[in-house]
Amino acid sequence: MKASAFSYARASSVVDALELLARHGDQAKILSGGQSLMPALNLRLSAPELLVDIGAIDELRGISVANGVLRIGALTRHVDVLRSAEIAKHAPLLTEAIAHVAHPAIRNKGTFGGSLAHADPASELPACVLALDAVILVRSKDSERRIQAADFFTGIYETLLAPDELLVAVEIPVAKPNAVHFFHEYARRKGDYAIVGLAASGILDGDVLTDLRLGYFAVGDKPMLATAAEHLTGRPVTASMLADAQAALDAELDPQEDQQASAGMRRYLARQLMARCVSVLLERPDLETKALA
C-alpha cells in the first residue's frame, strides 16, 4: 500500500513552519525524522493534505546546558543523544534508554522531538521524560507554551500539541550529585517494541530514596508515572514496603492485551520491574529475591 496524495512544503525556519501550520491546521502533518510517520502514511493510518518537512531547520538541533538545565532540540537525532557527553553526564538515563530504541538505522534518522510528538505508548523516550521531570517547549505562530511531561501525553498517539503548534525543544533538570537511575524493558528481541518497560530516576541519601520517579511504558494507552513510588521513599525500604508498593502499582495499571502479552503478564512484569529497579538503585539484591519468592 502507498500513501494517499498529499502536498509537500519544506520549511526554511521555525517561523516558516509555524506559518504553514497556522494556515493549514489539522490538514498538515510535520515530517522530522520520518521513521514513524512514513510507515503510517504508507499504511494510510495518516492522510494529511500537506506534509511540512522541518528537517532543514538547524535551530531545532543541538544539545546544550545552562543554568542547571539540559536542553535538547526537537530535531536532535537519537544517535546524537546516544553519543552526547553532556547527556551522559547530566541525564545518563537517556544514554542508557536510547540504545534500546529500535535499530541503528532508525536511530540514525529518528529525532528526539519526533518520538515525543508521536507518543507511542510503547516507546522509551516518553517514559524517560516523565521520569526526568522534563518540560516540553512548544510554539505556535503567536505564542509559546511550556508543558510538563507528566501532562503532555494524553492517549495513544495523542498529546496536548494543537494542530498549529510545533514541539521545539525539551528541557531537563541536570542530574544532582546523588541522583540514580534505572532502565530496563522486556522485549522479544532487542529493538522490538517493548512488552513492558520502566525508566526511573531518583535521589539517594545513604540507604534511603528521598525521591523516586517511575516512568512505565507499554502498560496502557500512554506512558505512566506511577504514584506507587511514594511507598518506597523517605525511609529504608523493607520487603513489606516493596510488597505494598507493588500492590499499589497493580491498582494503578490498566494494561492492554495484544498479540505480545496478556494484561496479566504485563501486570506481573511491571511488578517485577519495580522490584528490580529498587534492588539495583539501593544495591539490595535481597529485595528482588524476596519479591520473586
CA quadruple 66, 70, 74, 80: dihedral sign: positive
The per-residue pLDDT for range 256-290, each reduced to its tens digit, is 899 899 999 999 999 999 999 999 999 999 988 87
The number of beta carbons lying within 10 Å of the beta carbon of residue 142 is: 8
Q: Given this model, what pLDDT does residue 192 score?
A: 85
Domains, in order of start, for the chain: 7-53 (3.30.43.10), 58-173 (3.30.465.10), 179-287 (3.30.390.50)
DSSP-H helix ranges across 37-91: 37-42, 78-83, 85-90
For residues 31 and 247, the model is more confident at: 247
- Percent helix / strand / coil, the chain, rounded to 5: 40, 25, 35
List all residues 6 or more positions away from 127 whose beta carbon is below 8 Å from its beta carbon: 197, 198, 199, 215, 216, 217, 223, 224
Give residue-wise pLDDT tens across range 52-107.
Answer: 999 999 999 999 999 999 999 999 999 999 999 999 999 999 999 999 998 899 89
Predicted pLDDT at 1? 62
| Strand 7-10, strand 50-53: pairing | parallel
Stretch (H or E) spanning 49: none
Mean pLDDT of 7-28: 95
Residue 259 grid cell:
498479540
Q: Is the dihedral of CA 126, 202, 277, 226 positive or negative?
A: negative
- pLDDT at 293 exceeding the cut of 70: no
